[in-house]
Structure 1
């Protein structure tokens, strides 16, 4: 089996609005995770849907520069998607979207060791059917599956249907990572601890929930690990969750002897969580979704 990763999901252009300035960057949560994995020296392919336009070319160059390979089926005849991120004074982002998520089928998965998906790819039809089909076939072939719902509630008209889609993908995963906002949307009125216990009890080997400046909670079997955030000067939060996700995948599947997809110890949860928090901290110290490399990880020193 190839040691590489296949990421399935949207790639788009982020228009970042700060007061009176606008900057444009390639983005999309799954594309960011693919970028993060490639920058951590994981051989990574991305199956997405981008047009033969200027935005699509911007994305292609950006991903290729970090070693991400697009599947040939990723090119479509529709415009490339955009997300308009408006930043508040604290650096937090709110989003609007102009989307086209109608990916082509991917007949040959090429036996990836890791498959990751999430965000719009998981919920937005008709492309969500393609996403679920790839995940189903990859898991049946022995791939490790990770999932980050990264819910965009403004794009979801039917909450109950979205919960059903979430359940189908999370039950097919070995690793599911949510934000606290995802948990509030998918499990309204329930505590973070309740959500973690419920997901672990459903059979998911590793579950993570990020909580912004309050760090993260990782769980596996009976083990729970509180992960402290890395203290940095925040430029903005764009890409922080994607950086954390990529680092979790890398740290579990590549570092410390790899992973067989089963439950892991508390000691290992603490180790992978610390790496993920460190990488996410590097990302939020930069403008835009500029995810770190292995060299960045080794060179960076958290603020004491």
Structure 2
């Protein structure tokens, strides 16, 4: 079982050009998208979050159930669902404005136990920024790692949500000893101001850096550096692409019995090439269609 911990929200995606283009609601949130992608790939997955009882919250839980993702670890609240307004550039890239005050996911509390059979827990995005929930997710990360559970982190930086950049960077560094696998984009890496070598020295057994259409690179503690190119695709938008990479990395490691720091470190060039190549193909499919619509296993067969 792979548990994904973090927010579920509604993306408001423009259908047309201009500031007053019509906005279409879409189910989203980085951790939510990662959980859906895991379900579609066929990995046993569970979602750990706090979700509103409003209509949007019911729709979010409905999608998780439809995808086969367990929701027994989801807390509920009467507060509204977080909204994220997307602006899509000419190249398909998306930036977001968030409406987060008083929303349900911010009041998440750390559970005492994880679902039975948990092998890994994935963290990231807004849930590690917005208090008081951020401290609860951090508590869960530290507790899971201390019990020997494989942990992954995708910071997925949203600068508009971070009031004190230096304080966030310091907090990020404090997370690293509790992280098994760090995945982040080139843009995130530049914003954080560190290097894979520095992050590896702080804790993770591997760091994966995504480079958009140029592919992915994994850096490992033994000095290894493994890269694959991006998959050529006509990009509609990049919404959910990074989240798909998170899921594909976890799925790829799970299928190789490498959801452990020692096992992951032993993958070698061929193993990493297979995991990264699978993630690149999965992300390309997500980019080929509107919104966060990760691929199903049959779309990646062969």
Which TM-score applies when normalising by structure 1? 0.91
Q: Does 1:137 align with 2:140?
A: no
Q: Which structure 2 residue ranges, 5 or more long, are not aligned?
A: none
3-state SS in 2 of match to 1:79: coil
* Aligned equivalents of 1:227, 1:73: Cα separation in 2: 36
Q: CA deviation at 1:169?
A: 2.3
Q: Describe the superposition over 1:61-109 as per-residue Cα deviations: whole angstroms up to 9, x where unpaired.
A: 1111101122354211210111111112221111011123221331221
* Aligned equivalents of 1:38, 1:261: Cα separation in 2: 23
* Aligned equivalents of 2:289, 2:247: Cα separation in 1: 17
Q: Does 1:298 align with 2:301?
A: yes
Match of 2:43 in 1: 42
Q: 2:107 aligns with which of 102, 109, 113?
A: 102
* Aligned equivalents of 2:192, 2:72: Cα separation in 1: 31
Match of 2:289 in 1: 286
Match of 2:14 in 1: 17
Q: Which structure 1 residue ranges, 5 or more long, are not aligned?
A: 300-304
- Equivalent pair of 2:248/2:278 in contact (CA under 8 Å): yes
* Aligned equivalents of 1:66, 1:152: Cα separation in 2: 27
Match of 2:129 in 1: 123
Q: Does 1:158 align with 2:164?
A: yes
Q: Does 1:78 align with 2:84?
A: no
Cα RMSD (Å) of the superposition?
A: 1.5
Match of 2:5 in 1: 8
Q: Describe the superposition over 1:31-62 as per-residue Cα deviations: whole angstroms up to 9, x where unpaired.
A: 11111111122221111122111111111111
- Equivalent pair of 2:128/2:134 in contact (CA under 8 Å): yes
* Aligned equivalents of 2:299, 2:74: Cα separation in 1: 32
Q: CA deviation at 1:226?
A: 1.9
Match of 2:213 in 1: 213
- Equivalent pair of 2:6/2:123 in contact (CA under 8 Å): yes
Q: Describe the superposition over 1:242-269 as per-residue Cα deviations: whole angstroms up to 9, x where unpaired.
A: 00111111111x2234343122312222
Number of aligned residue pairs: give it.
Answer: 289
Which TM-score applies when normalising by structure 2? 0.91
